[in-house]
Amino acid sequence: MAAARRIILRDGIEAATTRAIAKEAGYSNGVLTHYFTDKDDILLSALQSSHRRITARLTAKLAGRTGLAALREVLLDNLPLDEERVQETGLEIGFWARCISSPALLRMQREEAADLRRLVRSLLQSARDTGEIRVQESLDDITERLLALVDGLSVHRLLYPDGSGRMERVMRAEIDRLAG
């Protein structure tokens, strides 16, 4: 749903009405409602489409990488370090508030976040198994801290756009700290 994405990024999630999305896509509202039950259904489709693009990009980046190298790629890829990821982050954060009032969006958001959580946790386990990570802290705790850092840095980057260099340094330092 490219039209929904454009509206959300340009005007905010509340402006992404079915009528506005239909107009942006060049369709009548009736055509859009034939394929989607309501606004949340459209938003869900837009978020899933974004997540599929992210997953495809990550799959390519992780080819041949394991352990700490793969973990570094996953975490850095989830930061808004270029225009494409700034837009993805803006879309994602726009959904967070909407998720609070939409059980369907919240359920999907939690499922997809759980996928990322499992990936990070498994890469941490792999890195620990090969001796790349020496800290004795719980891998579940490290996973939560890393993902909270990604979320916090991402929000910070959208609020303060000139901090991307610092953001990358902070994440790299946190990953390096795990290696001991």
Do residues 179 and 68 touch, judged by C-beta distance below 8 A? yes
pLDDT per position as a tens digit, 137-175: 999 999 999 999 999 999 999 888 886 678 899 999 999
Specify the CATH number for the domain of residue 136.
1.10.357.10
Provide the whole-model pTM: 0.86
Scanning 18-102, the segments in alpha helix (DSSP H) are: 18-25, 29-35, 39-62, 67-77, 83-101
Range of the domain at 99: 2-178
Token look-up 């509202």 returns 29
Token look-up 């990604």 returns 150
pLDDT per position as a tens digit, 24-66: 888 888 888 888 888 888 888 888 888 899 999 999 999 999 9
Percent of the chain with pLDDT over 90: 46
CA angle 63, 66, 71 (to 5 degrees): 100
pLDDT per position as a tens digit, 3-15: 888 888 888 888 8
Into how many domains does the chain fold?
1
Do residues 67 and 123 touch, judged by C-beta distance below 8 A? yes
* Mean pLDDT over each residue of the chain, to the nearest integer: 89
